[in-house]
Amino acid sequence: MIETSQRIRLIGSPGSGIDELAENVSRHSNLNVISLNNFFIDNCSKKENDCQSLLNDFLRSEEWLIKGFFVKDWALNTIRDANMIILLKKPFLIRLINFFSEQLVKIFRKNFSYKKMTFELKLILSFKDELKDLLSSKHLMNKVVIFNSEKSAYEFFIKETAPDLFL
């Protein structure tokens, strides 16, 4: 079971279902969600040092829910400080199909961004390589739980945070 102060890190590439999982976990836990992908685009693309400082300010709070892909460099503190790390590891082709389906919806809703699409597509393509370091780190393995779907990850989260519901 996770500790009382909830510091949860959700990791998944675009198209993995990480947004849906974050919404469900946030609704259940009343934690505010910060998206590292949006955080990076909004704050870090020009000044990475400022990015680290802003993120460290957020990490000082007692409880947080951080979702996104980044597992290296400026985002490492989000992994180190988390009580629980949930990794969504869907197959590449499914993530790619989901991603392009989302992009089509954005085009029809007229909120499509070519810059964000190319940024997220690069994340999908590099996801496997980025995870190697995380999964090989022995001191993090007791915090990392890997799932193939957002539904099974959410069910696990509920059981870990509210075990009395399942007695």
- Mean pLDDT in residue range 62-71: 84
Assigned domain for 166 exists:
no
CATH number reported for the structural domain that contains residue 112 in this entry: 3.40.50.300
From the list 36, 30, 31, the residue with the least C-alpha distance to 13 is 36
| Res 2 pLDDT > 50 | no
Domain count, the chain: 1
The strand pairing partners of 85, in sequence order, are 9, 144
143 has pLDDT over 70 = yes
Range 106-135 average pLDDT? 80
Which domain covers residue 97, as residue numbers?
Answer: 7-160
Q: Is residue 16 part of a domain?
A: yes
- Average predicted confidence (pLDDT) for the chain: 80
